[in-house]
Structure 1
Amino acid sequence: MKIGITCYPTYGGSGVVATELGIELAARGHQVHFITSSQPFRLTGRETNIHFHEVSASTYPLFEYPPYDLALATRMAEVADFYSLDLLHVHYAIPHSVSALLASQMIEAHSIVERRRRLPFITTLHGTDITLVGLDPSYLPITRFGIERSHGVTAISSHLRDRTREAFGIDSEIEVIRNFVNCDLYAPRPQVVSEMRPRFAEPGEHLFVHLSNFRPVKRVLDVVEVFARVAKTLPARLMLIGDGPDRSAAEHLALQHGIQDRIHFLGKQDNVHDLLPLADLMLMPSQMESFGLAALEAMACGVPAIATRVGGVPELIDHGTNGMLFKIGDVAAMAEAAIALLNDPVRLQKMSQAARRTAQENFCTTRIIPLYEAYYQRVLDRNQ
């Protein structure tokens, strides 16, 4: 197939999933065209069967804000026409689904004269496009319209599917295709651990990790609070991977607790698959997670997550078996659980093995990518 993919190319879950999906599809022989404002950060530019098409919005002085959604629709149509794309797959509804709808209509209207063809598009819902931004009165009608006019809609968890139907009154098909991980790339890596872990923790010290875009919904300050409680009891260090608006507040809180020398603020990293296996536990105390991709990537590396019981996270983490779930903001209970686990190496090892097994049996690319391929074909068959 020839597939156009649009996403936000920055550091965030929807962009990561879209990029990894494109990489996996290309590896399976499909021709993938990324149509985005900049090259997605997980692309190296050396991948086979992957092409990048930049979207540039006009900065004409008349426009107070560059009309990116219109520029995107135009570029989608251009790429689809020039490369004879079979379909578009857009990630995050706002504004990508509406831009794809315009591109689809442009292709169909243009091809009436020359060669009649259709350009179906699929919208994948990722979370805040539904639970936060999409519910804003300024965006709700257009978000609903884009979803309803999509030729196919997928959601990354059953929770998000149900939330979408409830919030937008949508009763049409929403296919649940959960997030995935490359279980060969994200895996326990003893050699890497022996080489790299000494950079972040001394022998005898425990190592925590948190990975996010540091937005308020990720509750990075709770990560620091949990770690501060653990560090009073056990020798431990923390890797914070990512960046965003709450970084400075997290740094200030670390100073207040006097643990700034025990926290590694690593910023945005391309080698996440090398860093996650170094840790003993992941901390993911989010306000909301429609799935919990960071936790899945850690679990594939054999690192259990201490997380919050929100959104789609319980579809991934079975409390007490492959990780731990707590109420939002209950940093005391999270810290207590972390200390208990680290003081019980046998239980921690069993949980680590269960976490890896969960990823392998349910969420590896070899299981999820064929679901996307089958769904693409269904959409194409009913839109011929």
Structure 2
Amino acid sequence: MRILQALFFPPEQPGGVSSMVPFMLDRFNKRGWETELFSLPKRVRGKGAEEVRFVTFDWKAYAGNPVVDKYIQTIKDYIWWTKMRIKSSYDIIHAHHPIACLVMKRLFPDTPVLMTVHSSYERELMLNGKIDKNGPEYAFLTSIYRELEEQADQLITVSNSFKQYLSEFVQEPERIGVIPNGFDEKRFRPVHHENQVPQLITVCRLVPAKGLDTLLYACAELKRKGHPFVLHLIGDGPIRPELEALAQEIGIYDDTIFYGYMLHPEDFMPFFDVFVLPSRAEAFGSVFAEAALCGLAVVGTDVGGIAEQIEHGVNGLLVPVDDVQALAVALEKMTSDPMYRYQLARVALDKALNTYSMSRVVRQLRSVYRTYRKES
């Protein structure tokens, strides 16, 4: 069986799709399933010129809006690049981005195309203050889900909560499959260590949706109560200057390290103590599973896929979104009681190994692929 894994941009950094698909491809190939990776280079811009039409709605009603126009042009570019690069046929195409799915079904209508919806672009844009829920961008982007339902042979998503989110925009939500992300266990190894001062770490893009302002205020409260810590922020993004200024303003700049972008944070993540990320929304939250596989105790918000990974007080701690005091209390528990955080970390590691292994993802996908291979 020949399978194409179609991404959006190339996998350049860990986290989410990028941390899963290349390793998944390797597992399939080792089992004799010929699997290839395809994506659109970031340098390809403004090359495509073919007309774009959708079956379920008229996108031209939203034309003239920069977000919409850029999205449509990217579809054209993906068509141009795919036509130029793909010369062979596949038994199954598995797309990991809406644009990849729509283009692949357009160019290969007789090939089963499966689509995994990994995240919500419109929700990210809203939380980052880029679009409004009542605006044309939101209407356009949410209409894409119905188009995906019409075009793809199978829709899959990464958590039950995100399936519920998608159900508002499709006609048959019961047909959406759920396959949580999986991770190559060999990449993540807990390391025994003893830090005199508790080390907190987060790994994410520095954007408003991640709730990092809440984290900084909670850490300031932790310091006010006399609990020492070092906060390590790995990642880059548009609000980095604001976060650095805020850390300075509330008196924790000397306790915080801004690393910027890092290619393989999992290489030294095991030497820290607590992973914390107070996201305002997450379809899955891959980095929580990655942190658990590194042996860290985890603290997250009670939203989306995070709440499906963490059982409060059993394998981590959950707090409400934007609740500085609750987050400060959770961090105080973690930093002041090494045995407590160790116990939570051990349970989190066991769950991650049993639930989020790459072997489990490969088994589930092989079962799905076989179904469509038989039908084709």
TM-score (norm 1): 0.81
- Deviation string 1:173-215 (CA, Å, 9 cap, x unpaired) is 211100112222112023xx68xxxxxxxx5111001111122
- In 2, Cα distance between the equivalents of 1:361 and 1:313? 17
- How far the C-alpha of 1:349 sits from its partner, in A, is 1.3
- How far the C-alpha of 1:59 sits from its partner, in A, is 8.0
SS at the partner of 2:348? helix
2:141 maps to which residue? 139
Q: Does 1:72 align with 2:72?
A: no
1:226 maps to which residue? 218
- How far the C-alpha of 1:29 sits from its partner, in A, is 4.1
2:97 maps to which residue? 92
SS at the partner of 1:296? helix
1:164 maps to which residue? 166
The residue identity in structure 1 corresponding to 2:25 is G
**Which runs of structure 2 are paired with 1:145-184 in the superposition (5 Å)?**
145-171=147-173, 173-184=175-186
203-212 or 140-149: which moved more? 140-149
Q: Does 1:363 align with 2:356?
A: yes
1:249 maps to which residue? 242
5+ residue gaps, structure 1 = 40-53, 106-117, 195-202
SS at the partner of 1:137? helix
2:204 maps to which residue? 212
Q: Does 1:119 align with 2:123?
A: no
- Deviation string 1:208-240 (CA, Å, 9 cap, x unpaired) is 011111221111212222222223322211111
- How far the C-alpha of 1:320 sits from its partner, in A, is 0.2
SS at the partner of 1:288? coil
- How far the C-alpha of 1:141 sits from its partner, in A, is 2.9
The residue identity in structure 2 corresponding to 1:328 is V
| CA gap 1:141/1:311 in 2 versus in 1, 3 angstroms | same
- How far the C-alpha of 1:78 sits from its partner, in A, is 5.1
- In 2, Cα distance between the equivalents of 1:172 and 1:205? 49
1:3 maps to which residue? 3
- In 1, Cα distance between the equivalents of 2:33 and 2:182? 18
2:34 maps to which residue? 31
- In 1, Cα distance between the equivalents of 2:213 and 2:324? 10
- In 1, Cα distance between the equivalents of 2:28 and 2:214? 37
| CA gap 1:59/1:369 in 2 versus in 1, 3 angstroms | closer
- In 1, Cα distance between the equivalents of 2:2 and 2:46? 25
Contact 2:274 2:297 in 1 (8 A): yes
- In 2, Cα distance between the equivalents of 1:187 and 1:55? 37
SS at the partner of 1:283? strand
**Which runs of structure 2 are paired with 1:318-333 in the superposition (5 Å)?**
318-333=311-326
Q: Does 1:102 align with 2:95?
A: no
1:305 maps to which residue? 298
1:48 maps to which residue? none
1:46 maps to which residue? none
SS at the partner of 1:210? strand
TM-score (norm 2): 0.83
- In 2, Cα distance between the equivalents of 1:128 and 1:171? 16
- Deviation string 1:327-373 (CA, Å, 9 cap, x unpaired) is 10112111112212222222211111001001111111122221112
SS at the partner of 1:319? coil
- In 2, Cα distance between the equivalents of 1:59 and 1:290? 31
Aligned length: 343
Contact 2:166 2:173 in 1 (8 A): no
- How far the C-alpha of 1:13 sits from its partner, in A, is 2.6
The residue identity in structure 1 corresponding to 2:40 is S
- In 2, Cα distance between the equivalents of 1:140 and 1:315? 24
Contact 1:148 1:170 in 2 (8 A): no
- How far the C-alpha of 1:130 sits from its partner, in A, is 6.8
Contact 2:274 2:334 in 1 (8 A): no
| 1:372 aligned residue (361, 365, 369) | 365
SS at the partner of 2:219? helix
- In 2, Cα distance between the equivalents of 1:236 and 1:340? 13
| 2:190 aligned residue (167, 188, 193) | 188
Contact 2:162 2:283 in 1 (8 A): yes
Q: Does 1:58 align with 2:47?
A: yes
| CA gap 1:349/1:140 in 2 versus in 1, 3 angstroms | closer
| 2:278 aligned residue (266, 285, 289) | 285
Contact 1:14 1:92 in 2 (8 A): no
369-378 or 26-35: which moved more? 26-35
- In 1, Cα distance between the equivalents of 2:30 and 2:244? 40
1:315 maps to which residue? 308
Contact 2:124 2:209 in 1 (8 A): no
SS at the partner of 1:189? coil
Query: Could you say what the CA RMSD is over the residues aligned between the two structures, in angstroms?
Result: 2.7
Contact 2:222 2:332 in 1 (8 A): yes
- Deviation string 1:11-36 (CA, Å, 9 cap, x unpaired) is 56344333443344344444333322
- How far the C-alpha of 1:74 sits from its partner, in A, is 4.1
123-132 or 287-296: which moved more? 123-132
| CA gap 1:249/1:56 in 2 versus in 1, 3 angstroms | closer
Q: Does 1:334 align with 2:339?
A: no
5+ residue gaps, structure 2 = 50-68, 126-132
1:238 maps to which residue? 231
- How far the C-alpha of 1:172 sits from its partner, in A, is 5.6
The sequence identity of aligned pairs, in percent, is 23
1:198 maps to which residue? none
- How far the C-alpha of 1:123 sits from its partner, in A, is 0.8
